[in-house]
C-alpha cells in the first residue's frame, strides 16, 4: 500500500508541465487533515489554483490490566493520505478555500500478556476509510517565494457504517514556497 502511495505522489508531482507562474509549496502542518501533523506538497496548476498531496500520522499506545491482572496493550495508528485542490485569493495575505479526499490507513494491534493468560492473545487488524475534507483559512505567502504561514480550519466529513460525522480540525502550518 505504501508503494502505491509513493507512486501516486511521484505521478502527481511530475504530471504538470512547467508553464509560466509555476509555484511549489512544501510545508509542515500541525493538526488539520493529517490529524496531529502532516507533510504537504502543493503545486500551482493554474492561476491561484494548487493541487495538494499530503501524508500525516497519528499513533497512540495504551496499557491497562484486565480483571485477571493480565497486561493489555493496545496500539492504534492512523495515517491519512490526502489529495485536494486549493484556491488562493489575495496578494501576500491570502484567503484559502479548498477541499479534497483523504484515505485513512488504520492499523490496530492488541496484545494480552501476564501470569493468568492462556498462551497470550494477540490481535492485529488493518483497514482504511475514505473521507472528504474542506479547508478554509488565511495564508501569508509572498508571490516571489520564501516562507509561508497558514492558519484555518479543516472540516473532515467521516462516514463509517452509514453514520456521518463532521470533525472540525484547526490547522497551523509553516513552509517554503519556490
Q: Which pLDDT belongs to residue 113?
A: 76
User: Consecutive sets of 10 residues in the chain, 178 residues long: mean pLDDT of each?
Assistant: 61 51 85 93 93 94 80 91 96 95 92 66 84 96 90 90 86 95
Q: What are the two backbone dihedrals, phi and then psi, of residue 124, each rounded to the nearest 5 degrees?
A: -140, 135
Give whole-number Cα distances, 33 to 38, 72, 145, 174, in Å: 8, 30, 24, 15
Specify the pLDDT at position 138. Answer: 97
| 165 touches 146 (CB < 8 A) | no
**By the 8 A CB rule, do 40 and 13 touch?**
no
pLDDT of residue 18: 45
Give pTM, 2 decimals. Answer: 0.77
Amino acid at each position: 500500500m505504501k508503494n502505491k502511495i509513493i507512486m501516486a505522489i511521484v505521478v502527481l508531482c511530475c504530471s504538470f508541465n512547467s508553464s509560466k507562474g509555476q509555484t511549489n509549496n512544501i510545508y509542515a502542518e500541525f493538526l488539520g487533515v493529517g490529524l496531529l501533523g502532516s507533510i504537504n506538497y502543493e503545486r500551482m496548476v493554474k492561476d491561484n489554483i494548487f493541487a495538494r498531496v499530503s501524508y500525516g500520522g497519528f499513533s497512540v499506545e495504551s496499557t491497562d490490566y484486565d480483571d485477571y491482572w493480565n497486561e493489555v496493550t493496545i496500539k492504534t495508528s492512523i495515517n491519512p493520505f490526502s489529495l485536494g485542490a486549493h484556491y488562493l485569493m489575495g496578494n501576500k495575505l491570502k484567503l484559502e478555500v479548498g477541499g479534497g479526499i483523504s484515505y485513512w490507513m488504520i492499523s490496530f494491534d492488541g496484545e494480552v500478556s501476564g501470569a493468568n493468560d492462556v498462551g497470550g492473545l494477540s490481535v492485529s487488524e488493518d483497514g482504511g476509510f475514505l473521507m472528504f475534507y474542506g479547508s478554509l483559512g488565511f495564508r501569508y505567502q509572498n508571490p516571489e517565494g520564501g516562507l509561508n504561514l497558514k492558519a484555518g480550519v479543516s472540516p473532515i466529513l467521516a462516514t463509517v457504517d452509514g453514520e456521518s460525522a463532521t470533525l472540525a480540525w484547526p490547522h497551523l502550518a509553516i513552509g517554503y514556497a519556490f
